Every structure is written in structure tokens, then in C-alpha cells.
Structure 1
Amino acid sequence: MNKKRKRNKQIIVRTTEEEYTKIMEKVKISDMTMNRFFINAALRKEIIVYDFTSIFELSAQVSRVGNNINQIARKLNQGGITNKSEVDFLKSSLKNINNVLMEIYKDIQKSQDEA
């Protein structure tokens, strides 16, 4: 080993095929190098792997609500009148966004409790 290296010790770990697959999935999701992942895991630093599906869903919902608000604003600026269904749709959309935010919060809390 090169004496100039800061990390000059090597550890070899043997796993089953199933363990290897699970570890590699976590390494990939964590966006860390394998070396960094193992060092953090071994030193008990918190490694949170989070499924961003709900974040993407939230982003799409926020975008749709923003588009609807813009459409209503254009209509009002042109002297038009909004109807109750448009306002109800916005309220429903905002409620859905709130529900997604609550799920994200619960997932984060669960991840922290398990760590």
C-alpha cells in the first residue's frame, strides 16, 4: 500500500449474493462511492436512503396548481368570472399537496427513528 495515502488500510468483506445486491442498491441510491458508503455505515454515521417518488409527485402537483392559478388570474384580468368548481379544484389540489407533504414528513420521521 502507498504510505502517502490517508486511508492505507484495506478491509475485505464477504457477502451472500442477496446481501451484495441489497448493499449495491443502497450504495447506488445513496449517491456515494462504495468506499464512502462503507466508512459511513461502519462508523455509524446516519445514512438515510429516501425514496424521492413522493417529492416528484409533489412537484408535479405544485406545477399543476400553479398553472391553474395562472389560468384563473388571466381570466380575472380579462374581466372574466371564475366559477366555484375552479376554486374547489384548487382547494382539493392544495389538500393533496398537504397530504403528500405529511407522508414525506412521516417517512423522514420513520427513517430517523430506525437509525
Structure 2
Amino acid sequence: MARPRKQKELRRTHPVMLRFTDTEYERLLSLAESASLPLAEYIRKQVTGKQVKIKYEIVADLPELKKLIAEFGKIGSNLNQIARHFNSGGIHSQEMRKKIDQGISDIYEMKYEVLKMAGDFLSLSPGDTSVQKGDSYHGNPETYRQ
């Protein structure tokens, strides 16, 4: 079975020839590959001003990250237990509130550790990768301290 024809207004009928140096061509190929696009589609999007999303995959095998991932799993389990407690009509006590606040504070502290290790990809300004404990940009763990 043949592929259906495109509508006339969607057909690309105007070829444009470009010449690139080896360096330029290799760079374009690399960028197109990073965006998971064919070279022609990548160049077309660049020329027409459409957004090209390049996905980066960061792989790290650090013991600290493995430890943090395990801690996040434990926190998730604890949150599920708390939700189950309250959803089944559990009593809201002052002690429970303090434990929840402490847990939230611990989560923020762990978040700061992750950001420090990762170099804070969501930096406040270009070139600024510093993360200060207590920055309101990422939340403040002291807010939840009792």
C-alpha cells in the first residue's frame, strides 16, 4: 500500500542548497542528533525560528547519589503512610505535625545536597551555580524547624 500524498500546501517543493565546512557540518550533525531530529528537520526548525528541544542525559555512578535515591524512596514510603493515616480518619496531633515539619525540613536539606552535587542546573543567573543554604529560590528548610 502506498503512502498517502500530502496536501499541496504541506509539500516542500523549494530546495535550498547550502555548503558547510567539515567543522560546521559535524556540529550540525551533533546538534541534530542531540535533538533526535534528522539534519534537514533540525536546520528547518532553526531557520524558521521554531523551538528545538535538546535532551541531555546525565549518567553518574556516585555512592552519594545512590544513598540519596534510597533516602527519597524512604521518604516516599513515609509520606504514603502519613496520607493513609489521615485519609482513614487518623487524629491530627501536635506530635504528628512536628514530625511532618521535620520531614519537610529534611527533604529541603537533601534537595540542597543534590543541587550542590549537580551544580544546580537551574541556576539563578547564567554562570551562577552557587546554592546557599536558606535561599528562598529553592525553599528554606528553616521554615519548617520547630
> Aligning the two structures, in what range does the TM-score lie when normalised by the shorter sequence?
0.5 to 0.7
Say which of 66, 71, 78 aligns to 2:72: 66
Quick one: structure 1 residues 55 and 39, their matched pair in 2 at CA, closer, same or farther if it must change by over 3 Å?
farther
State TM-score, norm by structure 1: 0.52
Alpha-carbon distance, 1:98 to partner: 3.6
Deviation at 1:18, TM superposition (A): 0.6
Structure-2 residue corresponding to 1:86: none
**Does the Cα contact within 8 Å between 1:40 and 1:46 map onto a contact in 2?**
yes
Q: What residue is the counterpart of 2:114 in the other structure? A: 97
C-alpha distance after superposition, 1:51-85 (max 9, x if no partner)? 3327998x866533235x37xx7xxxxxxxxxxxx
1:21 to 2:38 alignment: no
| Paired residue total | 88
Corresponding residue number in structure 2 for 1:106: 123
Q: Per residue, is there more helix in 1 or in 2?
A: 1
Tell me by how many angstroms 1:93 deviates: 4.3
Q: Distance in 1 between the 2:116 and 2:28 partners?
A: 31
Asked if the contact 2:28–2:39 (Cα under 8 Å) also holds between the matched residues in 1, the reply is no
In the alignment, structure 2 segments of 5+ residues that lack a partner are 1-7, 79-106, 127-146
Unaligned runs of 5+ in 1: 74-89, 111-115
TM-fit CA distance, 1:41: 0.3
Please provide the CA RMSD for this pair. Answer: 4.1
The two structures have a TM-score, normalised by structure 2, of: 0.43
Q: Which residue of 2 aligns with 1:83?
A: none
Deviations 1:80-115 (A, max 9, x none): xxxxxxxxxx886443224467722139x75xxxxx
> SS in structure 1 opposite 2:122?
helix
Work out the CA distance in 2 between the residues paired with 1:6 and 1:101.
Answer: 45
Which has the larger Rg?
2
Identity, in percent, stands at: 8
Once residues 20 and 58 of structure 2 are traced to their aligned partners in structure 1, the CA distance between those partners, rounded to angstroms, is 30
| Cross-structure match for 2:38 | 33
